[in-house]
Amino acid sequence: MILAFLSHTWKKFSRSVSFGKEVVTSIFLGFFALMMVIYSLALGFALDHIITTTLNISDSVTFLNGILFYYFGFEFMMRYFLQNLPVLDVQPYLHLPIKKSSIAHYLLGKSIIHVLNLLPLLLFTPFAFMVVAGKESTGAAWSWIGSIWLLSLSMHYIVILFKKQLDDSVWGFLLLISLFSLLGASDYFGWFKVSELSAPVFTFIIEHPAGIFIPLLLLALLYLINFRFFRQSMYIEDLAAQKESTTVTTHFDFLNRFGAIGEWINVEIKLILRNKRPRNILFLSGFFLFYGLIFYTNKTYTEGMPGFLLFVGVFVTGIFMLNYGQFLFSWQGGHFDFIITQPISMREYIQSKYWLLCSVGLICFMLSIPYVYFGWKILLIHTVAALFNLGVNTFVILNIAMWEPKKIDLDKGAAFNYEGVGAAQWLMSLPVILVPYVIYTPFSLMGYPNAGLVAIGVIGLFGIALHKQLIDLTTKRLIQKKYDMAARFRKE
């Protein structure tokens, strides 16, 4: 049966209309995976030297045992963004004499074939047999590396459960943020250190090799939970209920007071909330609001590289604008013909997109205000960055998004999904990020960095004041390009 499933999967892939594009994408991902393997293996051989020589820590085994839980936290985040759910279109098999348990075992077994499941072996096997075996024994080395790999596989099934149950939901996103925020805060404020929990666990496994059965039992339990969950969800009634649940109507009545513009914004919000890929982008944008914590807590950037903080401000306050805006017209590629054939105003259509980007950009700015804790200079940077995003970058994104857009499947996830990505998407970030520095750098070189920040804010205010004229110019460009855009969407 497994061979039949593999054969059907290959035929579905090779006979797909988009076979050529998928092959190119697979080659690119394969090259990325190969680079990850090479770098991980090189780091594995250098790990002991880095700890003992670079970090000047004599007991590398104890140190590494102490940070392994941090590694698994990092691995969870990598898996969350890079690991896809095991997929098989099960509905055609449900009326056939095929056990649901066979389908579930196939899905869970196939999902193991992933480069992330090799990562702990590549990173820690050289260290295990070069250092752990030298200090303890070969059996201890096997037990240590085996337990790490089993815990990594357990993380694999935890991520599947998480993404199956809580992914694409606000509660799942809030749970993820809350958990990692709690761990970070506990280390920062000294409530408890994860290293104090991690080190004894792996030291025990080294001293008692039979301890490998603990992660083995955990892996078996998680596999069983996943298996039962997959098997119980393979009923036509459940699949139909899931399909109906995605069509729940949502309407924001308060937008009606803004007329046709409000109706278009309503449509855009529904598109975001009802479809996986734009919804993922919304959640990721919320996650990247914490991006500033990487730099604002480090004096290397706040004191040694103050100009770099402008990039952080533009990124934090404009992340949704950039991530969602790069596909601004591609999101509606499936029904763009319907839009341009209706008796509607193209100006109102552009206005709706402008106000949506501005509204979310303003919300991002307001949510970033607590960064004032790190200094009033940070608030100034975020304020001028937000003004520049609203007054200038919004129109840059609106116009670049019209450049050779491609239709997007809204139900696919965002991780490693290059559908709709073209030259425009790669180039869009350049003017968004670089233009503020074109304004800021001359003032900074003359010794007036704050004046450079004010100049960026003033230009943003000019853009906001002239938004009606800029919307008119953008509308004229859309009218000129709309038929070409519709033709491109139809070819996809």
pLDDT tens track for 45-87? 988 888 888 888 888 888 898 888 888 888 887 887 777 777 6
Q: What pLDDT is recorded for position 258?
A: 75
Burial class of residue 10, CB neighbours in 10 A (0-12, 13-18, 19+): exposed
Task: State what percent of residues in the chain have pLDDT above 90.
Answer: 16
Distances (CA, A) of 139 to 59, 62, 143, 162: 20, 18, 6, 34
**Average pLDDT over every residue of 30-50:** 83
Q: What pLDDT is recorded for position 405?
A: 77
Q: What pLDDT is recorded for position 18?
A: 54
In this prediction the pTM is 0.62
Distances (CA, A) of 65 to 212, 260, 264, 336, 406: 15, 60, 54, 55, 48
**Average pLDDT over every residue of 8-12:** 65
Q: What pLDDT is recorded for position 246?
A: 46
**Average pLDDT over every residue of 2-18:** 64
Q: What pLDDT is recorded for position 222?
A: 93
Mean pLDDT score of the chain: 80
Q: Which of 133-147, 308-322, 400-414 has the largest mean confidence? A: 133-147
SS (H, E, C) 451-489: HHHHHHHHHHHHHHHCHHHHHHHHHHHHHHHHHHHHHHH
The region of weakest confidence among 114-128, 223-237, 363-377, 419-433 is 419-433
Q: What pLDDT is recorded for position 455?
A: 92
Q: Which of 81-85, 138-142, 336-340 has the largest mean confidence? A: 138-142
pLDDT at residue 318 greater than cutoff 80: yes
Cβ count within 10 A of residue 467: 19
Q: What pLDDT is recorded for position 92?
A: 65
pLDDT at residue 248 greater than cutoff 50: no
Buried b (16+ CB within 10 A) or exposed e, 222-232: bbeebbeebbe
pLDDT at residue 1 greater than cutoff 80: no
Q: What pLDDT is recorded for position 240?
A: 46
pLDDT at residue 35 greater than cutoff 60: yes
pLDDT-derived band at 223, boundaries 50, 70, 90: very high
In angstroms, the CA 432 to CA 150 distance is: 44
* DSSP code string of 402-459: TSS-----TTS-STT--TT--HHHHHHHHHHHHHHHHHHHHHHHTT-HHHHHHHHHHH
Q: What pLDDT is recorded for position 470?
A: 92
Alpha-helix residue ranges (DSSP H) falling in 190-212: 194-207
Q: What pLDDT is recorded for position 239?
A: 46
pLDDT at residue 238 greater than cutoff 60: no
Q: What is the pLDDT of residues 171-208, one digit of tens each?
A: 666 676 677 667 766 766 677 777 778 888 999 999 99
Q: What pLDDT is recorded for position 324?
A: 84
- Between 175 and 113, name the one with better pLDDT: 113
Q: What is the pLDDT of residues 465-486, one digit of tens each?
A: 999 999 999 999 988 888 888 8
Which is it for the CA torsion 32, 33, 35, 39, positive or negative? Answer: positive
Q: What pLDDT is recorded for position 44?
A: 87
Q: What pLDDT is recorded for position 88?
A: 62
Q: What pLDDT is recorded for position 427?
A: 67
The region of weakest confidence among 283-297, 299-313, 420-434, 436-450 is 420-434
Helix (H, G, I), strand (E, B) or coil at 336: helix
- Between 452 and 106, name the one with better pLDDT: 452
Q: What is the pLDDT of residues 423-461, one digit of tens each?
A: 556 666 777 788 888 898 888 888 888 898 999 999 999
